[in-house]
Amino acid sequence: MTAPLQPVRLYLSDVLRVGSAGLRTRPMRVFLSALGIAIGIAAMTAVVGISSSSRAELDRQLAALGTNLLTVAPGSDLFGGDATLPDESVSMISRIGPVTEVAATGKVSGAHVYRSDHIPVAQTGAISVQAAHLDLPRTVGASLADGIWLNDATARYPAVVLGAAAARRLGIDTAGEGIQVYLDRRWFTVVGVLRPVPLAPELDATALVGWAAAQTYLGFDGHPTTVYTRSRDEQVEAVRSVLAATANPQNPNEVKVSRPSDALAARQATDRTFTGLLLGLGAVALLVGGVGVANTMVISVLERRAEIGLRRALGATRGQVLLQFLAESLLLSALGGVGGVFLGVLVTSLYSLTRDWPAIVPPWATAGGVVATLVIGAVAGLYPAVRAARLAPTEALATP
C-alpha cells in the first residue's frame, strides 16, 4: 500500500525566497509601491522629528523663563511680625525627591555698599547686601559679565559679586584685584559682576557675599530669606504643595511659596497639541501606506493566477500559497518602511540644520514606523493572500 504524500515543509529561508521572487520579477512596480509607502512613512517620521526638534527648541526657550523655578520666603507670624526660615530649611528642601537644584540667599540687615568711604551713609543707591550659596548661579540661571563667581575660598573672605544694576550704580564694569567697594565699614574686593538675571531680577541690585564671610564680617544671622528651587517639570505642582511644610515644619503658615510660572502651563498645552498632531498625521500616513500595499498585492494576485494554479498543481498547499503572498506583502512593506524612516531622518536633519534647532528623531518614531508598516502590510496583504490561497488549481490554470 502506497503511503500518502506529505507536502514539503517550508522553512523561513524558503518562505523569504519564494516571497521575494514576485518582487524581483516586477522591479519597477515594486519600486513605485515601496516609494509610495516610503513617502507616507517619511512624512510621518519627518513630522515627528521636526515636531520633536521644534519642541526641544521651545523647551529650551521656556526653560529660560523659569517654568520649574519656585521660591520660598518667610512670611509673617501670628502677631504680624516678620517670620524667619530655619537654618536647616535649605537642606530639608533638598531632600524632596523631584527637587533638582536648591540655593538660598540671606539678607544682611543694616549693611550697605559704597564706592568709597567718603560717600554719605544715606546715599545707599538702593543696593542690598545678601549672603549667597555657591550654587546660586546654576539654580537661577545667572551668568557673569566679568570676573568669577564665589568659590570655597573666596566665600570665607571679604569678596563680593555685584549684580548688574548694583555694578552700574557703583560705576564698576570690571572685576579683579584692586577693584574694591566699601561694605559695612570694611573693604571688599569685587571678584565678579553678574549679567542681568531674568529669573531673579531682585539679584540685579544686590551685592552678594559668601555665607561664611557674611557671618564673620557682617554679623549675618544665618537665616535664609529666599530659597530658590528647581524641580522636574511634571512635579512642580506637587513640590509646591509640600514646600512650606518642608521648609518650616513647625509653622508652615509662616512660609510664602511662589506659584509656578505661566510658561509651565503653556509648555504643557504645547506638549498636548504636539501629541495630538503627531497621532493624527501618523495615522493618515499609515493608512495611505496600507492602501498602497493592499492595492499592489490585489493586482499581483490577479496577474499571477496562472502561477498560483501551477504551484497548486505541483503540490503547494493553500497554507504555503498564503505564506508566499504574506511574505511578499511584508517584504514590500519593510522596503518602504526602512526607506521611509531613512528619508524622514534625513529631512528632519536638514530642516533642523537650516533653523539652528537640535535635530531630534525619537527612537520610538523610527522603530515604530517600521513596525507599524509591517503590521499594516500584514493586514493589507492578508485579503489578497487568502484570495490567492482559495484559488482552485483548475480555475487558476484556466485563466487566460
Task: Delimit the domains of the chain by residue range.
Answer: 12-62+266-397, 69-259
| Cα R_g (the chain), whole angstroms | 35
pLDDT at 227: 93
**Rounded Cα gap, residues 141 and 199, in angstroms:** 7
pLDDT given for residue 106 in this prediction: 93
Q: What is the pLDDT of residue 233?
A: 74
Residue 104 and residue 87: Cα distance in Å, rounded? 11
Q: Report pLDDT for 22.
A: 66
Alpha-carbon distance of 91 to 85, in angstroms, equals 12
Q: Work out the end-to-end distance of the chain between its first and last CA atoms, rounded to an integer number of angstroms.
A: 39
Q: Please give the pLDDT value at position 218.
A: 92
Beta-strand runs (E) in the chain? 69-74, 99-107, 113-114, 128-132, 144-147, 159-162, 180-183, 187-194, 206-210, 226-231, 255-257
pLDDT, position 159: 94
Mean pLDDT by 10 residues, the chain (400 residues): 55 66 73 77 78 74 68 79 85 90 91 86 84 93 92 93 93 88 91 90 93 93 91 83 89 82 56 65 65 66 66 69 76 84 89 84 78 77 71 61
At residue 165, the pLDDT reads 93
- Alpha carbon distance 308, 397 (integer Å): 8
pLDDT the model gives residue 208: 96
Beta carbons of 277 and 109 less than 8 angstroms apart = no
Q: What are phi and psi of 396, to 5 degrees?
A: -70, -40
Cα distances (Å, whole numbers) of residue 201 to 140, 163, 204, 242, 335: 10, 9, 5, 25, 56
DSSP secondary structure, 265-328, as one string: HHHHHHHHHHHHHHHHHHHHHHHHHHHHHHHHHHHHHHHTHHHHHHHHHTT--HHHHHHHHHHH
Give the per-residue pLDDT at 217. 92
The pLDDT score that the predictor gives to residue 220 is 92
* Cα gap 214→208, rounded to integer Å: 9
Contact present, 205 and 127 (Cβ < 8 Å): yes
Question: What is the total residue count of the chain?
Answer: 400
- Count the alpha carbons within 13 Å of 113 in the hemisphere toward its beta carbon: 31
Q: Which of 187, 42, 62, 175 is nearest to 113 (CA)?
A: 187
